[in-house]
Amino acid sequence: MSLLPNLNTCKVAIIGLGYVGLPIAVEIDKTLICYKTGKKLSRKIIGFDINKERIDELNMGFDRTNEVSRDDLLKGNNISFSNIESQITTYDVYIITVPTPIDEFNNPNLKPIKIASKLIGKTLKIRKENSLIKNLPIVIFESTVYPGLTQEICIPIIESEMLGKVNKDFLCGYSPERINPGDKGKAIGDIVKITSGMDEKTSIWIDSFYASFIKAGTHQAKSIKIAETAKVIENTQRDLNIALINELAIICRKLNIDTLDVLEAANTKWNFLDFKPGLVGGHCIGVDPYYLTHRSTLAGYTPGVVLAGRRINNYMADWIIEELISVMTSDGFTLSESKFLILGLTFKENCPDMRNSGVLKLIKKIQSYGISIVVVDPLIKKTDKNLPKEIDFYDQIPDDQKFDAIIAAVAHDQFKILNLEFLKKLIVSKGKFVDIKGMLPRELNPIRL
Ligand SMILES: NC(=O)c1ccc[n+]([C@@H]2O[C@H](COP(=O)([O-])OP(=O)(O)OC[C@H]3O[C@@H](n4cnc5c(N)ncnc54)[C@H](O)[C@@H]3O)[C@@H](O)[C@H]2O)c1
């Protein structure tokens, strides 16, 4: 028998069922014919998560991230969900999709990925003791990490827990995820997947595995480190491009020029990159550059450009509010008696995720002036226990109130269709509009980035 698992019938465990892990689990389950070979696929999938509430919800057909349908969860081919460790010990492929956040000092917080590596090590030890399983398990990390983390941190943890060795007792690879939550036009299968492995045979197996269910195809990177670095530079490049345009927005405001009009003109050049100013939040673009700068600093080089971009993007929320407050103060508003309406709380449009949202920074800054805040977000439940303190929260715009300022912060589809008359009714005389995403009618004369 071959030491590698059978590509068509392998049993796959996904560890961490968030915005990344769940769609992958479902995509593998849904794909019954291999895109590469045309052969029939008959794979058993288990989604594992330490969050029991999440598992209970998935077992009832509810995905709180809005990425996967009820039917895909309840009428899957051969997929199950569990938070019980003993249920994952007989699988062939382990895909790790746990969070890789940063701490309060912007350093990588490796706790979740270290805990997950430990779990894999313990699991593989039990699996190894099962004399009925002959093939080698394959562990694939998908979490975003800094260059080298898989081999320097994760593999040693697995080896020590398993009492075994990579390439001998298990195989390992890395395949970064590029999913774009909330973007229904770019599903997981539409995005080319980078793959990599510790050695040639593992790389080829992992690449064929992803090519079997990712319609868009794969790119086999030359090493795990290359695949890891490719992921962090993708998001770092985005962060820096936005930072450049945010800096332009600050300059344009000083010079009384509309940034979006400038970008519209500049975009007519074939090689001008189409980036817009705005808040950078969430757990990818605002986080991944710090993974790169952390590893680089450890290696003796403190990046200049990357960290400068981070500083500008982190400053935008304060800058927007300072500009608004300066205009309102000149117009005679009494700030402590003012009330602001913020449209949108999530970190990006059409996605219910509010973790690390730039809007949270806006709220903090506004509250520092003693101003009351009403926040509306149709994608967040009023009962969400993570809602910021001391705000009035609604999932629909309260049209019986008037506001001194309205900040259009997140371009949810529901906000993009708000009309001029409706918005005018919500604002006091001389009240101000701030349009962070360029989505309000120009007739309102909003402060635009
Ligand atoms: N969200 C995105 O848009 C996106 C895109 C590309 C890559 N990524 C990367 O993918 C990884 C996962 O991100 P996400 O957005 O899916 O995170 P998430 O927070 O939405 O989900 C992570 C899940 O992992 C679970 N978990 C945590 N520790 C665990 C453990 N030890 N064992 C099992 N489950 C555990 C959590 O309960 C949670 O359900 C991160 O590294 C992230 O940077 C995210």
Distinct helix (H) and strand (E) counts, the chain = 14, 14
Going from the Cα of 246 to the center of ligand 1, the distance in angstroms, rounded, reads: 28
Task: Give the atom of ligand 1 at the shortest distance from the alpha carbon of 15.
Answer: 33
Hey, whose CA ends up nearest to atom 7 of ligand 1?
A: 177
Mutate to test the pocket of ligand 1, among 24, 97, 158, 348 (most ligand atoms within 8 A of CB): 97
pLDDT tens string 213-250: 999 999 999 999 999 999 999 999 999 999 999 999 99
Residues with a catalytic annotation lie at: 284
Give the C-alpha separation, 64 to 57, whole Å.
8
Say what the pLDDT of residue 184 is: 83
Mean pLDDT of all residues in the chain?
Answer: 96
Q: Distance, CA 285 to ligand 1 centroid (Å)?
A: 14
pLDDT tens string 301-324:
999 999 999 999 999 999 999 999
Q: What is the pLDDT of residue 60?
A: 97
Map out the domains of the chain as residue ranges.
11-222, 281-448
pLDDT > 70: percent of the chain = 100
Buried b (16+ CB within 10 A) or exposed e, 85-117: eeebbbbbbbbbbbbbebeeebebbbebbeebb
Question: Is 66's pLDDT higher than 70?
Answer: yes
pLDDT average, residue stretch 440-449: 94
Residues 6+ apart with CB under 8 A from 425: 399
CA distances from 38 to 31, 79, 215, 420 (A): 11, 21, 12, 54
Q: Which atom of ligand 1 is nearest to the CA of 142?
A: 10
DSSP state of 432: E
C-alpha to C-alpha distance for 73 and 94, rounded to whole angstroms = 20
Q: How much distance in Å is there from the Cα of 321 to the middle of ligand 1? A: 32
Tell me: the pLDDT tens digits for 69-126? 999 999 999 999 999 999 999 999 999 999 999 999 999 999 999 999 999 999 999 9
Q: Kindly report, residue by residue over 137-168, the tens digit of the pLDDT.
A: 999 999 999 999 999 999 999 999 999 999 99
* Same CATH fold assignment for domains 11-222 and 281-448: yes
**pLDDT tens string 245-269:** 999 999 999 999 999 999 999 999 9
Question: How far, in Å, is the centroid of ligand 1 from the Cα of 19?
Answer: 7
Pocket test for ligand 1, best of 49, 87, 153 (most atoms within 8 A of CB): 49
- What would the two tokens of residue 123 be? 């699991």
Determine the average pLDDT of the residues in 21-42: 97
Tell me the CATH class for 281-448.
Answer: alpha beta
DSSP 8-class letter at 184: T
CA 427/CA 405 separation, integer angstroms: 7
Q: Is the pLDDT of residue 1 over 60?
A: no
Measured CA to CA in angstroms, residue 332 lies from 64, 327, 365, 446 at distances of: 44, 9, 20, 18
**Nearest residue CA, atom 36 of ligand 1?**
16
The Cα 345–Cα 366 span in angstroms is: 14
Give the Å distance between the CA of 99 and the centre of ligand 1.
4
Q: Three-state SS for 138?
A: strand
**Residue 133: C-alpha distances to residues 3, 4, 126, 262 (Å):** 10, 11, 11, 63
Residue 296 pLDDT > 90, yes or no?
A: yes
Specify whether domain 11-222 bears CATH 3.40.190.290.
no
Count of CB atoms situated within 10 Å of the CB of 165 = 11
Q: Which atom of ligand 1 is nearest to the CA of 98?
A: 24
With the most atoms of ligand 1 within 8 angstroms of its CB, the residue from 15, 17, 19, 194 to mutate is: 19
Ligand 1 residue neighbourhood (C-beta within 6 Å): 15-21, 48-51, 54, 97-100, 112, 115-116, 119, 143-144, 177-179, 181, 283-284
The per-residue b/e assignment along 362-401, b for 16 or more CB within 10 angstroms, e otherwise, is bbebbbebebbbbbbbbbbeeeeeeebeebebbeebeeee
Predicted local confidence at residue 2, as pLDDT: 53
- C-alpha of residue 98 to centroid of ligand 1, in Å: 4
